[in-house]
Chains A and B, each alone.
Chain A
């Protein structure tokens, strides 16, 4: 079955540091890939997505590139802010073959804390 593996956390950075959160996946078909963010006390918000190989998703300074050859979708940001402190989830969704109705498979989440 499908699975998503994220780097172990938590991650603690100083403001303006570079962020990478690793994500790799296993899928039987051709998944779409997502990063969701969960701020304290809130639900899941879509941060960015990529639907095919070599696509780059970007939003709010965050980027991730769909790498089929390495089955990865690492999240990066060049300069983090205190307001980026949250839990980040990598996820995939498969729609192929008519047997999947797009359920999301999530990684375990990475807690990011950014200090001033």
Chain B
């Protein structure tokens, strides 16, 4: 069964560094999403991406964040200058046309 994959599973970085989180969505899916989950809190929407552009973003998704689908298979989330409060689990999700989204296993980002 096709699944969403994410790498790395755990990323440790120093404050102020740039990080890129990678996702490979299910191959025939059209809509792509990033969510984050700070430890002990709810899962929060960051951004949605469709037709090679951002379709919707939350107030969390400020200028420090960017997304890209560089080669038709990968979907990346970049944080330009990480802060301590960016420490969280980041989930990628994708869907085709039906409503349900399929999630990857997540990348745990730890900013020190």
Contacts and interface: CB of A to CB of B under 8 A. Distances in A.
Listed from nearest, the 6 A-B pairs whose CB atoms lie closest are: A43-B105, A44-B103, A101-B55, A106-B43, A101-B48, A108-B42
A73 interface: no
A34 interface: yes
A69 interface: no
Binding site secondary structure of chain B: strand
B42 A46 contact: no
Interface of B: 31, 33, 35, 41-45, 48, 50, 55-56, 91, 93, 95, 99-106
Interface residues of A, number: 24
B100 A34 contact: yes
A51 B91 CA distance: 23
A103 B42 contact: no
